[in-house]
Amino acid sequence: MIATPFFAIEQALRTVPFSMSADHVHQAHEIYYLLAGERYYYINQRVYALQKGDLIWISKHDFHRTSNKGSDSHERILINFDEAFVASSTPVTPSGDQSHLLLPEKSFLLRPSAQEQRELEHLFQQMLDEYHQEHAYRHMYLQSLLIQLLIRIRRIQSTAPDAIAPERSEQQQRVYSVIEYLHDHYAEKLSLEQLAGHFYISSTYLCRIFKQTTGFTLVEYLQDVRVQQARTYLKETDWKVTTIAEKTGFDSIAHFGRVFKHFTGHTPLQYRKAHKKE
């Protein structure tokens, strides 16, 4: 059975503080454009500070989330799509590759010029208008608009002087070290006091800078890392749930079940049934 090509676009204005409650990942690519306001965007253990007009490309399978920065209000456009949506409308290259040149493999942040922002926003508006109508050839027209957008992104990226780096203050560098430690040691029995001692800082200061940098509390982040790994084990192994709970650092099967359901909306067994690889 051939899957239906996927495409979705939405525009949202938020006038109150909003932060995603958990890291998440898509099976599709994502384009995030900030129309107004400021945001922190967290991708693969690094934090990017977004300003009006910034565009982020998130490759599929990259974990990401957004959180508050500056004023409470912000407005953004979000696009999700899979390769199948563009592949059928992309001319085949001499090598036979339909979409490699258009779809970047790694996530990145772009800071377009004022003129480039106007061009991008014109395309976004056309896509939004078409997406919410039932015109003839709607699917084909959305494909053509997305191809134009991807070309514009590639051109902006190719002329940008340098890639925009994640935030690198002394505080953030320290938090990145903590993050790397959590990813390396998530299976161990970790405590706030032990982590603070390992990095020679007070537990109060550690909690504060971690929340400021990532938008997560330290406990939330560690739980998120453990659940991400548990998802992989549930999909790719036949281990018992009790074994997976132990290997991901949970102190009991009951605690594992509660945390896993909080992050995924499913029990571990429900998740395995829905996602287990044949």
- Reported as a pLDDT band with limits 50, 70 and 90, residue 160 is confident
Q: How far apart are CA 278 and CA 272, in angstroms?
A: 11
- Reported as a pLDDT band with limits 50, 70 and 90, residue 1 is very low
Listed in sequence order, the residues at least 6 apart from 144 whose beta carbon sits closer than 8 Å to its beta carbon are 89
Q: How far apart are CA 142 and CA 200, in angstroms?
A: 54
Q: What is the DSSP string of 14-61?
A: E-S----SS-B--SSEEEEEEEES-EEEEETTEEEEE-TT-EEEE-TT
pLDDT of 26 above 70: no
The mean pLDDT value for 158-187 works out to 86
- In 3D, which of 26, 27, 33 has the Cα closest to residue 128? 33
Sign, CA dihedral 201-203-205-209, equals positive
Contact call for residues 76 and 34 (beta carbons, < 8 A): yes
| Edge-first strand listing for the sheet containing 39-43 | 46-50, 39-43, 64-68
**pLDDT value, residue 98:** 45
Q: How far apart are CA 18 and CA 27, in angstroms?
A: 24
The mean pLDDT value for 200-217 works out to 88
Listed in sequence order, the residues at least 6 apart from 52 whose beta carbon sits closer than 8 Å to its beta carbon are 34, 35, 36, 37, 38
**pLDDT value, residue 178:** 94
- In 3D, which of 37, 246, 5 has the Cα closest to residue 138? 5
**pLDDT value, residue 96:** 47
**Element housing 66 (H / E):** strand 64-68
The mean pLDDT value for 243-254 works out to 95
- In 3D, which of 102, 83, 82 has the Cα closest to residue 93? 102
**pLDDT value, residue 80:** 92
- In 3D, which of 131, 37, 118, 156 has the Cα closest to residue 79? 131
**pLDDT value, residue 3:** 55
**pLDDT value, residue 70:** 67
What is the pTM (predicted TM-score) of this model? 0.69
Which one-letter amino acid corresponds to residue 158? S
Distances (CA, A) of 12 to 77, 106, 256: 7, 25, 34
pLDDT of 46 above 60: yes
